[in-house]
Amino acid sequence: MDEAIRAVHEQCLRRSRIAMASRERLIHQYVREGFAEREVIGFAA
């Protein structure tokens, strides 16, 4: 999860202003694409 947050942060630095909801969406997308074969810890953990 930390990897996803850092990657999205790096992407957002090069963009103009972006909403927090959009950042969250990008993190979810990054996790789905990068870790599709593994189970990811969620809020229930």
Domain membership of residue 25 (yes or no) is yes
Closest by CA position to 23, among listed 7, 38, 34, 35: 7
* Residue 45, domain member (yes or no): no
DSSP state of 19: -
pLDDT in tens, 1-45: 788 888 888 888 888 888 989 888 988 888 888 776 666 666 555
pLDDT value, residue 1: 77
The predicted structure's pLDDT at residue 18: 87
Number of domains in the chain: 1
pTM of the predicted protein model = 0.63
Range(s) of the domain holding residue 29: 2-34
Q: What is the sign of the dihedral through the CA atoms of 21, 23, 27 and 29?
A: positive
Give the pLDDT of residue 41. 62
Residue 42 counted as domain residue: no
Report pLDDT for 33: 84
* Assigned domain for 6 exists: yes
Q: Is residue 11 part of a domain?
A: yes
Q: Is residue 16 part of a domain?
A: yes
